[in-house]
Chain A
Amino acid sequence: MHGSTKGQVQMLEIVVVLIVFFMLLGFGVLFFTNYLGHQAKQDLSYTESLELAERAKIVASMPELRCSLRGDVDFVCLDEYRVEAFSRLINSTPENRRHYAETFSGYRVKVSCVYPEYCTSRINGVTIFDYLPTNAENSVPFVLPVTIYDPLTREYYYGELELVQAS
């Protein structure tokens, strides 16, 4: 009888220890999964912003849009007339739209002139690509400052390329 009571106490001790062990393990796992979730969200936001920066550079270097003067290529310069012609052409036929869909699917790209004043009325939010799905939540816009070149007057204007990604 005495041995059985001792055994029961030992068994109780083991059960208590196991309960404490699993409680600690549970708290640890809970904390760790929360941390991993937060980390994953942060990584996703970083990836999105880097992707936007990468797309902005692709747009700025497209021969269809960038300005070239005597073969000299400037990667932060867009040709005003190429931008206008391109924005008209891209939406003129479904084939034209499909041509760029693979690279810019889920993105919207706009060009605006900032300075001087007379340029802002000519190029004010000209949409180059708009492949954003309807009713999609958009990311924070990524803005890349560029120069906009007018080949007729040979003037350079200060402008911005704005990219938005569907998140």
Chain B
Amino acid sequence: MRAQFEAMGLAMIVILIALGMLLFVLFGGGDKGDAPARYETRQLAQNTVSAMMKTSVPECKIQYEDLVADVALYQRNPCQHLDENTSIDLIGNITLKVLNSTLDSRQIRYNYTISELKQTNPSVHGTVYYTAGGCDPRVENVEPGTRIIRLPPSSKTVEVRLWIC
């Protein structure tokens, strides 16, 4: 009878130790999730968009951001001496060259979109002017880099967004 009590006592100790370890693993182990990886990805996405907006169009005294504005407002060819017909063609050409040599070459999946933001509801996207990349940001856990460009005197606002999947 005494030995049975002892056995039960020891079993209780084992259960308590196991419970303590389990609680440590669940709450105290410091599982940081994927926060650092997400931080890195967000940096990459945001810096890619920022650097791309400033990039000059070769042999044409304008920047990529001016091309985005042209796409939303006129869709003409701001660099007459280049082969591309419109600013959209030029944007497509530059974007693919940059993203092919950076994200694609490292097998990083992305979705790059230039779209109009509706004035009535800025969270709703209007016309999509340009899109590249394969991943679907609606179903994948992704981090975006964004640049919002207002185009006065028109009431248009354009959003350039890069999702890294």
Contact = CB atoms under 8 A, between A and B. Distances in A.
Interface string B9-53: 011011001100100010001111000110110011001101110
A118 B58 contact: yes
Given A155-B56, A157-B56, A21 B14 contact: yes
Interface stretch (B73-81, B94-102, B121-129, B132-140): B94-102
Given A17-B6, A21-B14, A50-B39, A143 B55 contact: no
Given A24-B14, A143-B44, A115 B30 contact: no
A10 B30 CA distance: 44
A145 interface: yes
A25 interface: yes
B70 to A, nearest CB: 17
B102 A43 contact: no
Contact of B44 (A114, A145, A158): A145
Nearest to A9: B3
Q: How large is the interface on B (under 10, 10 to 19, 20 to 34, 35 or more residues)?
A: 35 or more
Contacts of A42: 32
Contacts of A144: 43-44, 47
A17 B55 contact: no
A100 interface: no
Given A17-B3, A53-B40, A114 B101 contact: yes
Given A28-B18, A156-B54, A49 B37 contact: yes
Interface residues of A, number: 39
Interface string A31-49: 1100100010011001001
A144 B52 CA distance: 12
A30 to B, nearest CB: 11
A21 B21 contact: no
Interface in A8-23: 10, 13-14, 17-18, 20-21
A63 interface: no
Contact of A158 (B14, B18, B52): B52
B36 A160 contact: no
A83 interface: no
A18 B3 CA distance: 11
B91 to A, nearest CB: 13
A25 B54 contact: no
Nearest to A119: B58
Given A10-B2, A28-B21, A114-B101, A157 B55 contact: yes
Given A21-B11, A43-B30, A76-B47, 11 more contacts: A10-B2, A25-B14, A28-B21, A31-B21, A35-B25, A53-B43, A74-B54, A76-B51, A144-B47, A145-B102, A159-B51
In the A-B complex, the 10 residue pairs with the smallest Cβ-Cβ separation, listed nearest first, are: A155-B56, A13-B3, A46-B36, A116-B58, A145-B47, A145-B51, A17-B7, A158-B55, A147-B54, A21-B10
